[in-house]
Amino acid sequence: MLRSRKRQAHSSVERAGLLGGVKFRQLEVDEKYKLRGDTMAEAIRNDKEQGFIPFYAVATLGTTVNCAFDRLDEMGIVANREGVWLHVDAAYAGSAFICPEFRYLMKGIELADSFNFNPHKWMLVNFDCSAMWLKDPTYVINAFNVDPLYLKHDMQGSAPDYRHWQIPLGRRFRALKLWFVLRLYGVENLQKHIRSHIAQAHEFEALVLSDPRFEIVGEVLMGLVCFRLKGSNELNEILLKRINGAGNIHLVPSKIKDTYFLRFAVCSRFSESKDIQYSWKEIKLRTNEVLEEQSLSK
C-alpha cells in the first residue's frame, strides 16, 4: 500500500503514515510549487509497476511552507480514474473560501473524497477547531464502528454518532465556539476579516518589491508573504536572527529546494496598515544593520 503527497505537505501527513505503517511517496511540484495531475499519474503508474497499491493522495490548498495551491482539478481526475482516495488539506486557506472571489483556488473540489480546514487558524475561532467533511462517511464509520452493549442507547441512528468517525471514543464539544463566532460575526464580517488580511499581505508585498535588495518567493494569494534578501541563505539566516532578536516583530523561516526565505504572516485580527508599515520599517532597519556589518567585515 502506498500514498502520495507533495514535499511541502504538512508534517501531519507523514506522521499519519508512520502511525498507520504505510509508506508514502513525496512528489515534486512545478515552478509555482503546485502539484500537478500528470506528476501524480506518473507516480501512480510507477508505483503499480513496482508492485505497490496506491490508495491515498493529499492535495494541499495553501501549503504551510509558502501557501501554494495544488491543481486539485487535475489531481481529482487522476484520483477518480485510478480509484485513489483524494484528501484535501486546506487547514489555513480553507477559511478564505467563504469569499466567492477566492473559490477559483478550490476548482475541482467536487472530485475530492474528504476535505478539512481549521477555523482556529483564520476564522476567529479559538484553538483547537478543525472541520472535516467526507463525501461518503460510511468508509470511516465501518472502519471505526465498535458498538459494545454498554454504549447502546434508545436514540441510536437518530443523529450522526461521531465516536464512529475517529480513533478516540469521546470528543470535546468544539462546535459551540464555532457556532458563536458564526452568530456573532456573520458571513459579511468574516469575509471582511479575510479580505483585510489579504489586502495587508499585498501591501507588504508591494513594499518588498519596492526595495531592489529583496525578492518575493512564490505567489502572494492569501495572508502570507514569503520573501528573502537577495544573496546567500546564510545572509538571510543572519537577518532573521537580527529581526527576531530585536523583539519587535517575529518572523518564521522556511526553505524550498535549498532556498531559504522568511515568512511574513498577517494573522492578528487587530492588524491594520500601520502595523504593516511598522513591520517593514523594522525589517529595513535590521537589513541595513546586517548589510553594513557584512561590508565592514570584508
- Which residues are identified as catalytic? 10
Q: Which amino acid is at 106?
A: M
* Helix (H) or strand (E) segment spanning residue 189: helix 175-209
Specify the DSSP class assigned to residue 107: T
The answer to whether the beta carbons of residues 249 and 284 sit under 8 Å apart is: no
CA count, 13 A, side-chain hemisphere, 208: 24
- Residue 57: which of 30, 22, 32 has the closest Cα? 22
- Residue 61, beta-bridge partner list: 69
SS3 216: strand
Contact partners, residue 186, CB within 8 Å, separation at least 6: none
Contact between 89 and 8 under an 8 Å Cβ cutoff? The reply is no
